[in-house]
């Protein structure tokens, strides 16, 4: 008997919709909209879990307990937090730019959300397998920069503006090494489609690109550094540096608008980890267990890595941050790209 997997639920849903007698254009529309709603639900659960997990990890790193009151080890603490945020008053600064201020959190979340169209959660568990998959992710996640600039500008607050500008400069700078690290993988996979990338790593564990590429670990480490910066996380969280910019670009936001930025940050963290798993750790490839469980497990491990980063390293200064990107990461990643391509041409890989 076949194992029950998530994709069976999808096909069951699809059959259900077909049985209602919908015509073709509307069938796809309703399917995608439902998938979008489901994805939102899944992402909310993941984000709530990640917030709780982060608090527990930070607590244990600092030899505390963290949330303990609400349920077993405080497991529904973040759910309560979310409900609290829902009831918070929406304080709006008088001299804000109304339009920009309102749409910044929306764009921030949607930019993070759109990437999930091409994230392969498991064998066949992908909303749409674009043949430009990874390029598409790079393209849509860049909208985050715009939303942070919008938040910084729209708040009409000096801290926010500084935070927005810093985040734009930082994300823009770290996008280059990120792209270069991804390109090495693409040289070997020969395709931009996320599914193709995962499938070209099937089989043994040594087919995972982190082992297969000539300098796979370098590509992975540069990717994860750039990704940390892209997700605006410590040690690269200057845009919201608490002690100098108070809260950076989201200083004037409260209630659900703030929650959207918060949600987008954790969704972004999950996105970059999922990309790392897809590109370097064989995606859903694994043994015995269902593929989506492998993917989720690996992704959570990468997320754990990012969280440990956060609680191990101090925050960088802004000038160190930029110089590290342009003077170290950019030359290194492009050298790695050329060496990777040369090894591919010479056939020096298995």
Partner 1 sequence: MSEYLAVLLFAVAGIGIVLITFGISRLLRPHNPYPEKNVTYECAEETVGPSWIQFNNRFYIFALIFVIFDVEAIFLFPWAVAFGQLGLFALVEVTLFLMILFFGLFYAWKKGVLKWV
d(CA 96, CA 250): 13
| Angstrom distances, CA of residue 250 to CA of 47, 87, 153 | 18, 18, 11
Which one among 52, 101, 113, 121 touches partner 1, defined by CB under 8 A?
113
Strand partners for 125: 122
Pick the binder of partner 1 from 46, 47, 48, 117 (CB under 8 A).
117
Which residues ranging from 237 to 266 are in contact with partner 1 (CB under 8 A)?
A: 246, 251-252, 255-257, 259-260
Does 146 bind partner 1 (CB under 8 A)? Our answer is: no
User: Can residue 101 be called a binding residue for partner 1 (CB under 8 A)?
Assistant: no
Other C-beta atoms closer than 10 Å to the C-beta of 16 total 9
What would the two tokens of residue 320 be? 């160190």
Contact 227, 146 (CB under 8 A): no
Q: Which of 17, 79, 110, 293 binds partner 1 (CB under 8 A)?
A: 110
Of the candidate residues 32, 65, 99, 313, the single one contacting partner 1 (CB under 8 A): 32
Among 12, 14, 28, 204, binds partner 1 (CB under 8 A): 28
From its phi and psi, is residue 63 left (phi > 0), alpha (psi between -120 and 50) or beta? left
Burial track 20-45 (b if 16+ CB lie within 10 A, e otherwise): eeeeeeeeeeebeeebeeebeeebee
Residue 63 CB, shortest distance to partner 1, in Å, is 31
Only one of the segments 3-11, 23-31, 209-217, 304-312 lies at the binding site for partner 1 (rule: CB under 8 A); that segment is 23-31
The secondary structure element, H or E, covering residue 199 is helix 194-199
Q: For partner 1, which is the closer residue by CB, 251 or 272?
A: 251
For residue 249, whether the previous peptide bond is cis, meaning omega lies within 30 degrees of 0, is no
Task: Find the binding residues for partner 1 in span 41-80 (CB under 8 A).
Answer: none
| Residue 18 in the binding site for partner 1 (CB under 8 A) | no
In the complex with partner 1, the residue whose CB is nearer, 66 or 105, is 105
For residue 15, state whether it binds partner 1 (rule: CB under 8 A): no
Site size toward partner 1 (CB under 8 A) is 84
Token pair listed for 39: 């994805």
Of 23 and 63, nearer to partner 1 (C-beta) is 23
Interaction pattern, residues 200-239, with partner 1; x per rule: CB under 8 A: ----------------------------------------
Virtual torsion, Cα 204, 207, 208, 211, nearest 10 deg: 110
Q: Which is nearer to partner 1, 190 or 217 (CB)?
A: 190
| CA-based nearest residue to 50, from 314, 307, 239 | 307
Residue of the chain from 101, 109, 266, 284 that contacts partner 1 (CB under 8 A): 109
Report the candidate in 191, 89, 184, 47 with the shortest Cα–Cα distance to residue 132: 191
Distance CA 106, CA 110 (A): 6
CB nearer to partner 1: give 69 or 243: 243
135 vs 340: CA distance, rounded Å = 19
Residues 264-323 within binding reach of partner 1 (CB under 8 A): 318-319, 321-323
Stretch that binds partner 1, among 58-66, 72-80, 84-92, 220-228 (CB under 8 A): 84-92
344 is a contact residue toward partner 1 (CB under 8 A): yes
Residue with tokens 């080890």: 73
Q: Which two tokens stand for residue 101?
A: 């201020």
Residue number, 75 or 334, with CB nearest to partner 1: 334
**Smallest distance, partner 1 to C-beta of residue 309, A:** 22
24 makes contact with partner 1 (CB under 8 A): yes
Q: Are 325 and 176 contacting, i.e. CB atoms less than 8 angstroms apart? A: yes
| Nearer Cβ to partner 1 (52/159) | 159
């Amino acid at each position: 008997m076949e194992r029950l997997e998530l994709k069976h639920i999808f096909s069951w849903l699809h059959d259900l919709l077909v049985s209602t007698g919908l015509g073709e254009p509307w069938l796809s529309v309703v399917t995608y909209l439902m998938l979008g709603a489901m994805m939102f639900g899944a992402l909310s659960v993941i984000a709530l879990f990640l917030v709780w997990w982060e608090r527990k990890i930070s607590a244990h790193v600092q030899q505390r307990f963290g949330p303990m009151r609400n349920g077993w080890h405080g497991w529904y603490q973040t759910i309560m937090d979310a409900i609290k945020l829902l009831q918070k008053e929406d304080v709006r600064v008088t001299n804000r730019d109304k339009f920009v201020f309102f749409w910044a959190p929306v764009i921030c979340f949607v930019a993070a959300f759109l990437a999930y169209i091409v994230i392969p959660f498991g064998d066949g568990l992908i909303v749409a397998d674009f043949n430009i998959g990874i390029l598409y992710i790079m393209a849509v996640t860049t909208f985050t920069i715009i939303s942070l600039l919008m938040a910084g500008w729209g708040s009409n607050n000096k801290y926010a503006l500084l935070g927005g500008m810093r985040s734009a400069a930082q994300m823009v700078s770290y996008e280059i090494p990120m792209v270069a690290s991804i390109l090495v993988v693409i040289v070997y996979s020969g395709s931009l489609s996320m599914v193709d990338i995962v499938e070209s790593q099937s089989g043994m564990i040594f087919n995972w690109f982190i082992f297969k590429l000539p300098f796979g670990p370098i590509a992975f480490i540069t990717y994860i550094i750039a990704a940390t910066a892209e997700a605006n996380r410590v040690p690269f969280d200057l845009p919201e540096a608490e002690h100098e910019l108070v809260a950076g670009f989201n200083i004037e936001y409260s209630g659900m608008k703030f929650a959207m930025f918060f949600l987008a940050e954790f969704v972004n963290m999950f996105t970059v980890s999922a990309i790392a798993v897809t590109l370097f750790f064989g995606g859903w490839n694994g043994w015995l267990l269902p593929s989506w469980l492998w993917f989720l497990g690996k992704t959570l491990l990468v997320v754990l890595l990012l969280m440990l980063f956060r609680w191990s390293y101090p925050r960088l200064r802004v000038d160190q941050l930029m110089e590290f990107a342009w003077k170290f990461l950019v030359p290194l990643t492009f050298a790695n790209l050329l060496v990777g391509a040369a090894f591919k041409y010479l056939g020096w890989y298995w």
